[in-house]
Amino acid sequence: MKIAAMILIVLGILGLVYGGFSFVYPDKVVDAGPLQISVDKKKSLPIPPLLGIVAVVGGVGLLAFDRKKA
């Protein structure tokens, strides 16, 4: 339970600091037999600040619940 709580807290903080992440993937533009042309496309996935806050609060709540139970 503690590991899950720490992961939530770290992911929540990273989400708040970076605000999202982006990645690059190859995409075929032309595929005509032996002729293939591809282009690298960049995709961004924003992470809302509210989701980061919820993850941090949830992680802290899991830690508090785990200590209260023990």
Q: What is the pLDDT of residues 21-68, one digit of tens each?
A: 899 999 988 888 888 899 999 999 898 999 999 999 999 999 998 777
Reply yes or no on whether the pLDDT at 69 is more than 80. no
Backbone φ, ψ for residue 33 (5° rounding): 65, -125
Question: At which residue do the structure tokens 């993937």 appear?
Answer: 25
pLDDT at position 65, please?
87
At 70, the pLDDT band (50, 70, 90 cuts) reads low
pLDDT of residue 50: 93
Domain assignments of the chain as residue spans, ordered by start: 2-69
DSSP assignment letter at 4: H
Smallest CA-to-CA distance from 58 within 18, 7, 15 is with 7
Q: DSSP of 9-69, one letter per residue?
A: HHHHHHHHHH-EEEEEEEEEEEEETTEEEEEEEEEEEE--HHHHHHHHHHHHHHHHHHHHH
